Structure 1
Amino acid sequence: MDVYQRSYCRPIETLVDIFQEYPDEIEYIFKPSCVPLMRCAGCCNDEALECVPTSESNVTMQIMRIKPHQSQHIGEMSFLQHSRCECRPKKDRTKPEKCDKPRR
């Protein structure tokens, strides 16, 4: 059952676009433009469950930040990595939160 173990919910190296992590830094070009991070992925074998992180840590990487026609420098940027994952019930994102307001 090697396939089952390899496809089950776990941290796996994933290439993540830096703009996905830093969407407000659009004035820069980053080299590299994506970084390898451990992120939760995989199957939970139940449609009601999703693979979510239960333990996270920050990792710092040196990234070149280029401001076109102005400057470039290598700086440290921090990224979130997942170190443990678990299958948990999906949060229902389709139903609006129910407010129990008193009726008049």
Structure 2
Amino acid sequence: MADKIKLLIAVLLVIAGVTGFYFFDGAPTVVRVLSVIAGVVLGGLVAGLSAPGKHFFRFALDSRDEAKKVVWPTRKETIQMTGVVMAFVVVMALFLWAVDGVLLWLVKLAMGQGS
């Protein structure tokens, strides 16, 4: 129950920040934007104190660690694979153009308009 209350407070803080943006209509834009940022930051801090927030934070850290393990291709590999993809696209486009032409010819032949 305490986690639900914390999440509710977090949502209310975000809503308060957005409401502050419209409440300070005559204020400088910096004040209005800081109102939203403060609401989101405070809401995030309160949500981070709940069990789901802690699970999410742990998940985010694990995701960052997994992203560091990714082996990115070299420039040469990237250029080679891009060339392979482009060649495949051209071949597939020519194939589909040929199939479309044959089907068009067959339909015209079936309709009695063939030459």
Query: Per the shorter chain, which TM-score range?
Result: under 0.3
Q: Is the radius of gyration larger for structure 1 or structure 2?
A: 2
Which has the higher relative contact order, 1 or 2, with Cα contacts under 8 A spaced 6 or more apart? 1
Pick the structure with more helix per residue: 2
Q: TM-score, normalised by structure 2?
A: 0.25
Pick the structure with more strand per residue: 1
Q: TM-score, normalised by structure 1?
A: 0.27
